[in-house]
Structure 1
Amino acid sequence: MSTTKWVLDPKHSELGFKIKHLMISNISGSFREFEVEVDTVDEEFSTAQIRATAQIASIHTNNEQRDQHLRNSDFFEADTYPQLSFQSTKIEKLDDDTFTVYGDLTMKGVSKPVKLTVEYSGVTKDPWGGVRAGFTIGGKINRTDWGISFNGILETGGVALGEEVKINSEVQLVKQPQTVAA
């Protein structure tokens, strides 16, 4: 058995999220700068060790004023905590195409366990001779578990922002060439 290393193709991947706004619709966002590295035994993803990081300053919600607010101390405190990170701890293969990935998510200096659903889309050769694997990732977290609790009360008695954040990501990994010891 050999270890296979996979790295993110950032041009064909997205790290996205959604959160309720005014309790009537969702606002979508993403982190434009993020990295993912995966080590597997051979090409078996049920053996994966996954490491991911995202640059908080790269948060994008299609509204620069909101993005600046998300970077400040009301939310992510990007100057103090410039990255969020994920480290897998366990993977359960549910069927040929579906995995549950458990791991630790660290934001604002707080690490908490999370559970993600990962749909495996398969492996293919690209036109340049490389090997790629595709995944759709989903999950839910409560932002207040990481100290991200800013909110506003509405006239109607509701709140401006939901606490639940839905993770919705697409990841394409590129298999790295094997290195042979001399």
Structure 2
Amino acid sequence: MAATTWNLDKSHSGITFSVRHMMITNVRGSFNDFEAAVSADQDNLSALEATITIDAASINTKDEGRDGHLKSPDFFNVEQFPHIVFKKTALESAGGDDYKLTGDVSIAGVTKSITLNTEISGPAKDPWGNTKFGVVADGVINRSEFGLSWNAALETGGLLVGDAIKIHIELEFAQGN
């Protein structure tokens, strides 16, 4: 079977993250504007091609001041690096619908390889006859490895912002024409 182009269904997709704040809680956020390009043969998923492009300026943590700081040169520097890009380099079965998805992620001009625990569901027909499949991926990156190292010391010890960023991605795709 030949590779098929799959179109992102944005209304059923999301990219979220969380990071430790003041060593006592987590701040959660999302990216509101992103695209995903996928070409896959359902009988040979390891050969799939996938790229996710995120508009870094679309970050939303429900706090305009914090979002402005995250867009600044202290963090994402969105004027110089407007996109965060993930490009698949490997996909290995972990049994059933579970996979290890490895790719190169570029953030603020730094590219590193990361591996995400991934579940791929489908394909399945929706009630309107469209063929769909879903991807749920989770992982952790170290923000300082990407040069996002701004921080502030706390009076009680520790740092304001944690280094580990937990990533959660849920994407739904419809078979292209």
Q: TM-score range by the shorter chain?
A: over 0.9
2:138 is aligned to 138
Tell me the secondary structure at the aligned position of residue 73 of structure 1: coil
Question: Do 2:46 and 2:90's aligned partners in 1 also have CA atoms closer than 8 Å?
Answer: no
Question: Do 2:100 and 2:116's aligned partners in 1 also have CA atoms closer than 8 Å?
Answer: yes
CA shift, 1:62, in A, is 1.1
CA distance in 2, matches of 1:151, 1:42: 44
Q: TM-score, normalised by structure 2?
A: 0.95
CA distance in 1, matches of 2:53, 2:167: 14
1:180 is aligned to none
CA distance in 2, matches of 1:42, 1:4: 8
1:149 is aligned to 149
Structure 1: 5+ residue runs without aligned partners?
178-182
Tell me the secondary structure at the aligned position of residue 11 of structure 2: helix
CA distance in 2, matches of 1:45, 1:173: 14
CA distance in 1, matches of 2:72, 2:83: 13
CA distance in 2, matches of 1:157, 1:42: 51
CA distance in 1, matches of 2:113, 2:136: 20
CA distance in 2, matches of 1:106, 1:43: 29
What is the number of equivalent residue pairs in this alignment? 177
CA distance in 2, matches of 1:171, 1:103: 16
Tell me the secondary structure at the aligned position of residue 57 of structure 2: helix
Deviations 1:52-109 (A, max 9, x none): 1000110001111111111011110011100010111111011121000111000111
CA distance in 2, matches of 1:42, 1:113: 25
Q: How does 1:16-35 map to 2 (within 5 A)?
A: 16-35=16-35
Change (3 A) 1:170 1:42: closer
User: Residue 97 of structure 1 aligns to which amino acid in structure 2?
Assistant: D
Q: TM-score, normalised by structure 1?
A: 0.93
Question: Do 1:55 and 1:83's aligned partners in 2 also have CA atoms closer than 8 Å?
Answer: yes
CA distance in 1, matches of 2:43, 2:82: 32
User: Residue 25 of structure 2 aligns to which amino acid in structure 1?
Assistant: S
Q: How does 1:63-102 map to 2 (within 5 A)?
A: 63-102=63-102
Question: Do 1:4 and 1:43's aligned partners in 2 also have CA atoms closer than 8 Å?
Answer: no
CA distance in 1, matches of 2:64, 2:128: 37
How large is the RMSD of aligned CA atoms in angstroms? 1.2
CA distance in 2, matches of 1:84, 1:5: 22
CA shift, 1:43, in A, is 5.1
Q: How does 1:148-167 map to 2 (within 5 A)?
A: 148-167=148-167
Q: How does 1:51-62 map to 2 (within 5 A)?
A: 51-62=51-62
- Asked if 1:120 corresponds to 2:141, the answer is no
User: Residue 129 of structure 2 aligns to which amino acid in structure 1?
Assistant: G
Identity of matched residues, %: 38
CA distance in 2, matches of 1:104, 1:74: 22
User: Residue 98 of structure 2 aligns to which amino acid in structure 1?
Assistant: T
Question: Do 2:17 and 2:28's aligned partners in 1 also have CA atoms closer than 8 Å?
Answer: yes
User: Runs of 4+ in structure 1 displaced over 6 angstroms?
Assistant: none
Structure 2: 5+ residue runs without aligned partners?
none
